[in-house]
Amino acid sequence: MAKSLVIVESPAKARTISKYLGKDFSIMASIGHVKDLPKSSLGVNPEESFTPEYQVIRGKGKILREIRKAAEKVDTVYLAPDPDREGEAIAWHIAEEIKKKNSNILRVLFHEITKKSVKDALAHPLELDQHKFESQQARRILDRLVGYQISPLLWEKVQRGLSAGRVQSVAVKLVVDKEKDIRAFEPEEYWTLEAEYLGSQKPSFTAKLNKIDGKKARVQNGEEANIIVNTLNNGEHLLSNITRKERRRHPVPPFITSKLQQEASRRLRFSPKRTMMLAQQLYEGIEIGEEGPVGLITYMRTDSIRISDTAMEELRDHIGKVYGESFLPSKPNMYKNKKGSQDAHEAIRPTSIEYTPEKMKQYLDKDQFKLYQLIWNRFVAAQMVSALFDATSFDVTCDKYLMRATGQVMRFPGFLKVYEEQKDDTTSSKKDRKDTLLPDLTEGEIVKMLELEHKQNFTQPPARFTEAMLVKELEEKGIGRPSTYASILSTIQDKNYVQKTDGRLKPSELGEIVTQLLLENFPHIMNAEFTAGMEEQLDEVEEGKTGWMKLLETFYGPFSESLENAKENMRNIKREEIPTGISCPKCKDNELVIKWGRNGSFLGCGAYPDCNFTSEYVRDDKGEVKVVEEQVTDEKCEKCGGDMVIKKGRFGKFLACSNYPDCRNTKPVKIGVKCPEEGCEGDIIEKRTRKGKLFFGCDNYPKCRFAAWDKPVAVECPICSYGLMVEKSKGSGSQTLRCPSCGTTQEKIEDEPANK
């Protein structure tokens, strides 16, 4: 019989740990949290010291009974959920459930799931951390107070099913604010001038206008550009200054959670949610042949860049052996943690230098391998020498104008041999990123201008956030914590407050309306500095510097006042009617007004219900409202014989009877492709998941279950003769066609004719 019980939160982790421990240990999994606040009520009483009313989560009663039964039969219970606040809360709630059966309860922290780490943790157990638990509890109560008391207001004033969140609403506001900046942006004209020169030695080189009269060049219109062009075309060009410098590019530290999410988004196109799911798998254990399950990375929720002495020693030995001593710095590279970071965990790194990506590739799926390789490369590169470049610049002067050419050549790759961090919104072309070698010229010589190009440009509006950029913004502003970024980005998109288009985040109309209402009624909640301050106070609770109830009392007083005010004064969007000045095209006698419905805003006759005219609308460049004419199709309504028109709803386009509301018949939109399944005569239609994600399926569902995420086109596969192929986008923006049946790919030809 086992003498000790180890409780973790995941079955995968349990399987991995069981391999390392003998028959004296029994391993069980709680499968996440076992208790939480009730779903059907607030579950917190502000009048009674914010006492939380925890309930056993539905479906976890059986698990708890089995844990209690197992705890009764052993000498010691080791609680080993994840080493963070959420893990501490799981441990605390399990302890409350089993302490009557067995009071010999200890806490162990597994920072990596390896044999050595697991045995070391069990050899040095800890007491449960009350401060860490209270910090998690305070966060949970804060989020419940905000979410469960503001959300009903939004149901009443906007539409049912909406939610507000202490952190998620601030994240939506960041996206909304960015959109406001884009709309307010007014482009400014500017001109660039670029000349090609040839000196006493080949090759020629290119220089750009850099300064005018010693000041940074600003050419704002074509007239100014033409004056400069005239001077440069008729003047002498002197190579007035040559600067040669040695430049070093330093490596970056190993990953913390936020940086991993950002880089995986930029480089691998993974959402933060997917990145964390894959990282969790790598942490909890991967089957490595005869070795069985092995944890490949350290704990993935961390904001510390610390590396253990043992890991550092193994890494430096690896670099020296594999890459050579010239790639190894004389002493370890040291990095500073950012202010306020928690140093309980190490940075995200491989658990063993022996598990190289090449060795592990056969055991990992495609995405697991990509993420593991990214973590591995960054970890190794962080302890390599800097890259070395020879940088040269030429200054060519003509009259009061200075043209500058720059070039650099890599002399030693250093850490770049392994890894190079990607940046957001880079506009450099591949050509610009290559080494550029300037010719061997002499300062003071006259150079010949071969060609001069002047070009009109306009300043560009700020770029919308990518998921990586929004994570970075949240991190820099101190909003949320590394462990929450993935869920924040997932939630604001699932709730349709933010939509991702071409990889960029844009607020929906719903997101903008809710943000404005919250700003008007809960300015403190929507203030980024206030939200960041709450995170700092939660850290102080964990550190034992302040009490959790004091934090809640300080927050709840002003919040409850705002709540009561909002109940009386929040605008009712459902009832608002905004005049447009446009006459109703149906009754001619009344004005169209903008109304809000469950699918968003629309135009309706102000005389409703006497006149039931409705329409979509758009705004022109001046913000003026324009009626969208109904797009009539050739299809007839099978119920009343009316014309079927294309409408746009919450989940995209659909066909509706033009006799609405007398006839409410609707249909999905066909895309002009027949179902490829044998014996099926159905048509492929656009469909949406419950979360609004577009996919394509057969209209004979459920009899036919054909479905595809990528858009089908009516092109027969040239290899297996399957009835259609699907569009696949490439990083360059071009598209290919892929056969869902045999996997054959071919370049897409624009305006490809449909099969006859």
Instruction: Cite the active site residues.
Output: 299
**Residue 574 burial (CB count, 10 A):** 13
For 500-614, where are the alpha helices, taking DSSP H only?
509-521, 528-542, 548-569
Burial of 250 (0-12, 13-18, 19+ CB in 10 A): exposed
Specify whether the CB–CB gap between 95 and 78 falls below 8 A: no
Burial of 498 (0-12, 13-18, 19+ CB in 10 A): buried
Helix (H, G, I), strand (E, B) or coil at 364: coil
Q: Please state, in angstroms and rounded to a whole number, the distance separating the CA atoms of residues 214 and 395.
A: 12
User: Nearest to residue 505, comparing CAs of 451, 462, 467?
Assistant: 467
Specify whether the CB–CB gap between 418 and 377 falls below 8 A: yes
* Length, in residues, of the chain: 756
Taking the mean position of all CA atoms in its chain, how far away is CA 207? 39
Cis peptide before 585 (omega within 30 of 0): no
Conformational region of residue 497, where left means phi above 0, alpha means psi within -120 to 50, and beta covers everything else? alpha
User: Nearest to residue 149, comparing CAs of 159, 164, 161?
Assistant: 164
**Residue 655 burial (CB count, 10 A):** 20
Specify whether the CB–CB gap between 505 and 511 falls below 8 A: no
User: Nearest to residue 746, comparing CAs of 738, 660, 754?
Assistant: 738
Task: List CB contacts of 317: < 8 A, sequence separation 6 or more.
Answer: 353
- Give the tokens for residue 476: 């820099």
What SS3 string covers 464-490? CCCHHHHHHHHHHHCCCCCCCHHHHHH
Q: Please state, in angstroms and rounded to a whole number, the distance separating the CA atoms of residues 126 and 647.
A: 62
